[in-house]
Structure 1
């Protein structure tokens, strides 16, 4: 059975880093994996491919009849890499690129291949029609939310939960991507319990991860023996074996404010 996961979170919270390193683990375990970046910045697959790849939107603009190899690129451990792309900042709907990309990949039969894992790296603005595509169109079976213990990251996570509930999505858990906030792991654990889910894994802040990214590599590839790489392996294992899937119950804004202020 194919594992189809959409990973959401506030912009800049570390979704792309999480997606790339998880995929590197699964690829190293000989699982057939495809990573689809759903962000106009088109940087999800850079550390898997070793460089930026052409986006679906730009390729379609340049070539109305692209072949599969024009859109799907092979990266570390033969992981398939796709970037939806989008318009330039301030021009058009960013989410539109996701819709265009998914339909084109579907038409090319990419999802008909023998795959073990499909991972979508999705912008946090789940209210946008484009960014809700993986859930709304049933391309993804489950959702993971990446957050830290910071106010805005958790606020965004709670809003994402509202979208997941409205779209009748399945929430598999919260990934705590630490920013060294005081009582961070407790805050994120308590948040997860309040919305009816659990923390599926924790990634601690490390300069080694950033060092690998500067070299256009995942920490799993560049520093496979590191404790950082092991954290991603543990997280990847937890995701694959997870059976705790729930329909989340988001907090309303006042409840969330009270929740967060209780830790100050």
Structure 2
């Protein structure tokens, strides 16, 4: 079983990337489960064609110990199993704690024992213990960071790398690479390649900014479903293959913030 997690700055495109990768893997014949670890419950929207209304946390609150697998695991495009951990309303409670409860319940239900791939789509804040659970507790072993070439996106990626390096000392978790999600800034791909090298990893994919992604999203579909033969769909399919074949996992070497700023300035001024 491949146990993968996508991390990155909020709004960077983790869920879109995750859903398209899950759809591509399912089309290739893999059994896939995608678990959204964000209280917005929108990780699996493109796979289900709607926002999931039955999150693990909501069902646990309602039924306590009487929760059944089919109440929290839903079937999406191409048979992808879709789960949303859920969380409290904005401003109420700890979202990280919700993830802990949800993942513990899924483990108890043995909801993820038969899949070829389990993909966790995690809110990028690894400072909070709850969002670090997929890394810390070994739910995921192959971590990928989704980032653009923007400074704050790279800053978040660097912080996530610090968390991976810390937990790698006592477990099997490793960094699989950087997934570039373009924002069309100057020298973006070259910047991400250099950043990845300094981080002791590699840029495994660079996803161009394409209107096709927006069109698919507003129609509540992945690009894989909306425009299966498009160039953008082929990029996601290629990324899915890379994730399955990648064995070059590393312990990252995070940069200082000063070095990161200098790097962004260097490529931004070229």
Alignment pair present for 1:209 and 2:210? no
Deviation at 1:215, TM superposition (A): 1.1
What is the number of equivalent residue pairs in this alignment?
262
Tell me which residue corresponds to 1:144. 144
Contact persistence 2:151–2:261 (CA under 8 A): no
Q: Secondary structure at the match of 1:13?
A: coil
Tell me which residue corresponds to 1:56. 56
Alignment pair present for 1:82 and 2:91? no
Residues 158-173 of structure 1 aligned to structure 2 (within 5 Å): 158-168=158-168, 169-173=173-177
CA distance in 2 between counterparts of 1:241 and 1:60 reads 36
Tell me which residue corresponds to 2:119. 119
Structure 2 residue runs of 5 or longer lacking an equivalent are none
Alignment pair present for 1:222 and 2:222? no
CA distance in 2 between counterparts of 1:255 and 1:149 reads 15
- Structure 1 segments of 4 or more deviating over 4 A? none
TM-score (norm 1): 0.97
Contact persistence 1:202–1:235 (CA under 8 A): no
Pairing partner for 1:249 from 243, 253, 257: 253
TM-score (norm 2): 0.95
Deviation at 1:262, TM superposition (A): 1.6
Deviation at 1:25, TM superposition (A): 0.3
| RMSD of equivalent CA atoms | 0.9
Instruction: Provide Cα deviations, 1:84-139, integer angstroms capped at 9, x if missing partner.
Output: 01111111111111101111111111122x21000000111011100010111101
Contact persistence 2:164–2:175 (CA under 8 A): yes
CA distance in 2 between counterparts of 1:163 and 1:110 reads 27
Q: Secondary structure at the match of 2:236?
A: helix
Contact persistence 1:7–1:15 (CA under 8 A): yes
Answer with 250-259 or 73-82: which moved more: 250-259
Tell me which residue corresponds to 1:70. 71
Deviation at 1:255, TM superposition (A): 1.7
Instruction: Provide Cα deviations, 1:53-86, integer angstroms capped at 9, x if missing partner.
Output: 1111112222222211110000111110000011
Deviation at 1:45, TM superposition (A): 0.3
Q: Secondary structure at the match of 2:240?
A: helix
CA distance in 2 between counterparts of 1:47 and 1:257 reads 35
Tell me which residue corresponds to 1:155. 155
Instruction: Provide Cα deviations, 1:176-226, integer angstroms capped at 9, x if missing partner.
Output: 000101100001001000110001111111111111111111000110010
CA distance in 1 between counterparts of 2:93 and 2:112 reads 27
Deviation at 1:253, TM superposition (A): 1.6
Alignment pair present for 1:178 and 2:182? yes
CA distance in 1 between counterparts of 2:178 and 2:225 reads 24
